[in-house]
Structure 1
Amino acid sequence: MLVKSNVSSLEVNDSEISGQSSVNDTDLFHRLKWTFVEGLIYLLFAMVKSVVDIQLLAGDKLDLGFVRLARVPESLEMKMVHQDTFSVVLPTEHSLSEHEFNHIGQLKEENFILFSQDYSSIYYDKIMSICEDKGFSPRITHKSVHALTIFKLVEAGLGVAIVPTSLKQGYDLMVKFIELDKIKQKTELYAVWKKGNKNAALGKVLGLIKINGDINRY
């Protein structure tokens, strides 16, 4: 997700937020949460949908991005703002309960529905490694860059999924989440902006974001 701001204050509207898909994609705004603090927009984490177009940041077209990438061009600053666990997503009626779940290997015979590599190659590789650590390669039958699409496919019984735990917020579907809080793999969210960006609003937003995994609350 990208945020475009003007010189004196932060402004966000449909034309100034973009990702890989349409800026009017309801899946993006379904997980977008804003709180207003003294006229500024206070950013919460459960809002990132897809990989941003880094070239828009490098070309001064946009000011601030939130991404799941391991590397960006040298012209950009990149700081981790949040670390999240992964969760397995199952149909509500799936026979495996949270109490009975021990590890992902119990689902090795299932079809898997994953975020595409276009969402984030490092994120995709981490999900693969979660399965490989238990001795199997997932049988991937569907891919998408949209969380809602993935959840709908799981709800329909077409497979199971592994997603960042925070993505379970804001949906009312017949699926259940089992957090993988005992594994080494985590997913990181990074703030990205161009070095030397003088936009006053960008500085204010970065001042609200604590760059070690939480948000400042003034």
Structure 2
Amino acid sequence: MNYQIELRHLHYFRILAEELHFRKAAERLYISQPGLTRQIKQMEEIYKTALFERGKRYVKLTQAGEFLKQEVELIFNQLTNIQQQIEKIGEGKITNLKLGFIGSAVQTILPELLAKLKAKQPLIDVTLNELSNEIQIEMLLKNELDFGFVRMDNFPSKIQSYPILTENFALVVPKGHPFKDKKKINLMDFKEESFILFSKQYSTSYYDLVMSIFRDHEFEPKVALRTVNALSIFNLVSQGLGIAIVPSSLKNGYNTDVDFMELTNIPQRTTLHLAWNQNNRNPGIQLFINILKEIIK
């Protein structure tokens, strides 16, 4: 049989891979169940391998099917991006940029970067999403984001990064804390305190970096709470539920009832990076990077 893979095949495969049930997938696709079965069989004949395992009461992806599912997701994400870019060009706009960021990016470079971007390209569309580091990387790999502002040390091979700011950590304590005015801060003085930390969901590498601070001081912190949101940390600290360790730049831009004590006598530093997928062909990618480099210089 002289079949060729067409977009409809991939669409049918995608829905079946999500449902893992021929009847439910056929209903979503508004086709008959035998028709869907034929389309999947055609694909398997073209690829010369099974994409699904079928049993009396189950359907599951084979190893080849798992691989194809990931690739198909990328294909359809790219098709969506193409449609969006064409629509923007048709409206006379250069492009649409989807940005992910963590809170500290807003307190450092992001506002200036967006202002300069809009000054150079007033018609550019920008979508902002505050997301954890890990989720940003996942979305960059799928081309669901164009850029991410993240705090990480190691990046997947497809992700390129550019360091923006390396800074100290700071202790966050409630107003009136007895150690607030100490000239020399020793973390050992706080070993009996409860700590409120960014969780591993924020960034595994960032979490490990913070925990290394405690290891250097040879004590295990009493972790009262974990969260991925800076404002939540500050509000919890202000209520006396614990103290926190955060990047120093977070002391800017938040109106909270806490004090910051910069930890300048420890070796650990944290770096904010701009990250993007090297295979992303959005026409605004290089423009955005060039503006960032101008600001940093």
Q: TM-score, normalised by structure 2?
A: 0.59
- Kindly indicate whether residue 168 of structure 2 is the aligned counterpart of residue 90 of structure 1: no
Measure the CA separation in 1 of the matches of 2:253 and 2:284. 28
| 1:205 paired to 2:205 | no
CA-atom RMSD, angstroms? 3.0
Give 2:296's aligned amino acid. I
Q: 2:288 & 2:105 partners in 1: Cα distance?
A: 19
More contact order relative to length (CA 8 Å, sep ≥ 6): 1
Distance 1:191 1:153, change over 3 A: same
Q: Percent identity?
A: 34
What is the CA–CA distance in structure 2 between the aligned matches of 1:29 and 1:11, rounded to whole Å? 20
8 A Cα contact 2:173 2:237, kept in partner: yes
2:115 to 36, 54, 59: 36
Question: Which runs of 5 or more structure 1 residues have no equivalent in the other structure?
Answer: 21-26, 42-46
Correspondence 1:63 to 2:146? yes
State the secondary structure of the residue aligned to 1:143: strand
Structure with bigger gyration radius: 2
Distance 1:86 1:168, change over 3 A: same
Name 1:165's counterpart in structure 2: 248
Displacement, 1:60? 2.1
* In 2, Cα distance between equivalents of 1:170 and 1:134: 30
Q: Is the 8 A contact 2:166 2:271 kept in 1?
A: yes
Partner of 1:50: 132
Matching of residue 184 in structure 1 with residue 289 in structure 2: no
Counterparts in 2 of 1:109 and 1:101: CA distance versus 1, 3 Å: farther
More helix by percentage? 2
Normalized per residue, the structure richer in strand is 1
* TM superposition shift of 1:140: 0.3
Number of residue pairs the alignment of both structures matches: 197
Distance across 2 between alignment mates of 1:75 and 1:160:
37
**Match of 1:112?**
195
Amino acid at match of 1:215: I
Shift in Å, 1:76:
1.7
What is the match of residue 133 of structure 1? 216
